[in-house]
Amino acid sequence: MPELPEVETVRRGLQPVLEGARLVGVEARRPDLRFPFPENFSARLTGKTITALGRRAKYLTIHVEGGPVLICHLGMSGSFRIETPDGSEIPGVFHHERSKSAAHDHVVFDVVSAGGARSRVIFNDPRRFGFMLFAEGTPDTHPMLAGLGVEPTGNTLDGVLLASLLEGRRSPLKAALLDQRLIAGLGNIYVSEALWRAGLSPLRESGTIAKAGKKAAAQSERLAGAIRSVIADAIAAGGSSLRDYVQTDGSLGYFQHSFAVYDREGEPCSTPGCGGHIERIVQSGRSTFYCRTCQR
């Protein structure tokens, strides 16, 4: 699944083309993706102006004048591409080939910018695990978004807040960080990276960094900072770009080349003076990569 940095990269790629543009045509080429398209999907969007393009956790939110809000999830293989009337893409070089088969072009948005430029935004999803749903009113009240935790961006997530979220929890620290009700948008890759940066084991009891005392306070502050920084670095690099995920311009980000632990089983740990090696274990059916020498 694309994680928060991938979705934010897509949002930033779509924003210059979609925000302020008018939807002159919307075509759904099949009745469903993971879920059926909303009733009157095309009719409720066609002719309206897009006022804002947002993101909540791993979901894109497309706001149009007078509503509704379109909630989009990329699923496992979904991607957007932007085409001009002459068929060229804006802009980018493909580092991995992706599907361009019309059989997988499931939704087409024809838009005209405020300046009169026409373009086409196409959602392609071979596995059809993505979805598009409507939210009436505030999107945060939609069942897909209601109950999501704090965003791991900006300075809202600090040590004090993180400690309050983890207080009394006995689950492994990695499992707690993946709980979307606590922190929204964190996924397997970036949790592994953040725990390494913070020097904390994914296996330790999550509530241990929420106990009274300076040591736990320092650990929670260190982890909060690591989460914020690893997400910020990934967004700046364009996302992790694993497997099917692509940016809207067709190019891929390069943060995967900066991974310290993820998918580096057996390699030396890069923590100065550590001397340990990266190990892979399985937690809740998912791979965890960490260094048992410096992550305690």
Annotated catalytic residue, options 3, 6, 8, 193: 3
* Coil, helix or strand at residue 218: helix
Q: Is residue 267 a contact partner of residue 290, using CB atoms and an 8 Å limit?
A: no
Element (H, E) at 17: helix 4-18
> What is the C-alpha separation between 79 and 248, in angstroms, rounded?
7
R_g (Cα) of the chain, nearest Å: 21
> What is the C-alpha separation between 174 and 101, in angstroms, rounded?
38
Whole-Å CA distances, 1 to 58, 61, 146: 9, 18, 20
Q: Confirm whether 286 is a catalytic residue.
A: yes
Q: Confirm whether 2 is a catalytic residue.
A: yes
Annotated catalytic residue, options 11, 55, 58, 264: 58
Q: Confirm whether 58 is a catalytic residue.
A: yes
> What is the C-alpha separation between 24 and 238, in angstroms, rounded?
30
CA terminus-to-terminus distance, the chain: 28
* Coil, helix or strand at residue 67: coil
Binding site: residue ranges? Answer: 104, 127, 169
Annotated catalytic residue, options 12, 44, 128, 286: 286
Residue at token pair 């879920």:
35
Residue at token pair 């099949």:
30
Binding site for DNA: residue ranges? Answer: 104, 127, 169
> What is the C-alpha separation between 277 and 269, in angstroms, rounded?
5
Q: How far is CA 231 from the centre of its chain?
A: 10
Whole-Å CA distances, 207 to 99, 140, 193, 220, 270: 44, 28, 20, 10, 27
> What is the C-alpha separation between 217 and 1, in angstroms, rounded?
32
Q: Confirm whether 3 is a catalytic residue.
A: yes
Beta bridge partners of 289: 280
Annotated catalytic residue, options 2, 68, 172, 202: 2
Catalytic residues: 2-3, 58, 286
